[in-house]
Amino acid sequence: MLARRQLFPGRNYLHQLQLILAVLGTPPPALLAAVGAERVRAYLQSFPPRPPLPLEALFGEVGAKEPAALALLGRMLRFDPRERVGAEEALGDPFLAKYHDPEDEPECVPAFDF
């Protein structure tokens, strides 16, 4: 939304993963070790180590005008789901404060429990 275009416009799932890796960098070894599917782990390990791209570089002038948006996006774009901001927490982020009304945001009841 910041750039008024898709962030990862992959032509297929492999291309989309390549685009994601170009921005987020390669996953750390500890996270790769947790990948259950051997083929997926091998594919991810086939990429040379790469640091994350600063979001400011990706969004340029637009990002410079919206540092709070970049900060929230940075919290959303994490490989490790334990580090990734959840929907409820994201709604409380300063960038979304003007849209956030805790009294008018129902919570979804889980359909079932694993």
Average pLDDT score, the chain: 88
In this structure, are residues 53 and 23 in contact, taking their beta carbons and an 8 Å threshold? yes
Global pTM value = 0.79
Structural domain boundaries of the chain? 13-97
Q: How high is the pLDDT of residue 21?
A: 95
pLDDT digits (tens, 9 = 90+) for 76-109: 999 999 999 998 899 889 998 888 887 887 777 7
The pLDDT confidence band at residue 114, using thresholds 50, 70 and 90, is low
pLDDT over 80 (residue 56): yes
In this structure, are residues 71 and 79 in contact, taking their beta carbons and an 8 Å threshold? no
First to last CA, the chain: 34
Best-predicted range by mean pLDDT (5-9, 21-25, 92-96):
21-25
Instruction: Report how far residue 53's alpha carbon sits from residue 29's, in angstroms, rounded to the nearest whole number.
Output: 18
CATH number for the region 13-97 comes to 1.10.510.10
